[in-house]
Amino acid sequence: MTGREQERGSGRTLRASLAVDTKCVLGEGATWCARSGRLYWVDIEGAQLWRFDPATGERSSWRMPERLATFALTADPRALLLGLASQLAFFDLTTGEITTIAKVEPNLNTRVNDGRCDRQGRFVFGTKDEADKPQPIGGFYRLNRDLSVERLPLPAPAISNSIAFSPDGSTMYFCDSPTREILACDYGADGHVGQPRVFVRLADADGEPDGSTIDIEGGLWNAQWGAGRVVRYDAQGSETERVLVPARQPSCVALGGARLGTLYVTTARVGLDAATLAAERSSGGVFAATVARRGLPEPVFVGVRRS
């Protein structure tokens, strides 16, 4: 129902359960690494990168020099591409070395926020206004293979989110969370970005769209901040499934596991009062649910680190 308020579909409703109890202040960036069989995510306000191996239960973490908002896997399995608050950088998982690529919006009161690689291995990301009442002053950008950064011709966001790409890479999804709309646009392999159109509009009482991922059928799974749920929409924007999360601030999703059929959901504790935290003690953890759909391997950034 493109361009209309979402309506409850006839699909299944599932419930997610706690998978990793980390109590992140602002968990985000859920990303499944099929090469290693591990889940990565971040605690933005905790300035920390997390990794979890569901086969062994082992968890690891790395402290960052500033808030870490997003990241991407790279062609080098030893390295990640980081979207730190003020900059893009490479991170060596073995040595902990951080190599700056570029500063981001150094003259604005913004920070890097959401990001995903496109099907061509370029990193697309957005920013958010750091003001108490965010205004649409940020931008959407692309880090190309040659490590150049270009601003995309998309509306300036207050809080960028929901960046994802259709299985064939020809559609880009994104949002400015306070508008409660997820947008879509044509997206070319040559980098061309088309005119945005409304994909889904959430009703006022439905929270705000946050991070998203795409499954192999082209369905978009969206974490809905404040609503305690993840909703799947088909390629036409109709709801087909929802997963209830026992934490009201789900922030990002990834499809992982051995068959890419486990939905992982990061959540946050930030801004919740003592009574809410007492009732939702697992807020800030990672939740999981087995779903009927299958994910796609996460695209990796193919740009080369400069020596």
Q: Residue 205's CB: how many other CB atoms inside 10 A?
A: 7
291 alpha-carbon distance from chain centroid: 19
Q: In this structure, what are the phi and psi dihedrals at residue 277, rounded to the nearest 5 degrees?
A: -65, -35
- Range 77-82, long-range pairs (CB < 8 A, 24+ positions): 77/35, 77/36, 79/305, 80/40, 80/49, 81/123, 81/143, 81/301, 81/303
In 3D space, the residue among 241, 266, 5, 4 whose CA is nearest the CA of residue 114 turns out to be: 266
Handedness of CA 155, 297, 303, 166 (dihedral sign): negative
CA distance to 2, 37, 101, 197, 257, per residue, from 307 (Å): 47, 29, 12, 41, 34
Among this protein's residues, is 210 annotated catalytic?
Answer: yes
Question: Is 59 annotated in some ligand binding site?
Answer: no
What Rg do the C-alpha atoms of the chain give, in angstroms? Answer: 18
Question: Is 210 annotated in some ligand binding site?
Answer: yes
Question: Is 28 annotated in some ligand binding site?
Answer: yes
Handedness of CA 175, 252, 41, 267 (dihedral sign): positive
Continuous segment of H or E residues that includes residue 14: strand 13-15
Question: Is 113 annotated in some ligand binding site?
Answer: yes
Question: Is 21 annotated in some ligand binding site?
Answer: no
In 3D space, the residue among 118, 109, 68 whose CA is nearest the CA of residue 88 turns out to be: 68
Residues 172 and 174: their CA atoms lie apart, in Å, by: 7
What are 150's two structure tokens? Answer: 């270009």
Instruction: Exactly one of 210, 215, 234, 273 is catalytic; name it.
Output: 210
CA distance to 153, 157, 173, 205, 235, per residue, from 194 (Å): 8, 17, 11, 30, 17
What are 1's two structure tokens? Answer: 């129902």
Binding-site positions for substrate: 111, 113
Residues annotated catalytic, as ranges: 210
Binding-site positions for a divalent metal cation read: 28, 161, 210
Which residues participate in the annotated binding site?
Answer: 28, 111, 113, 161, 210
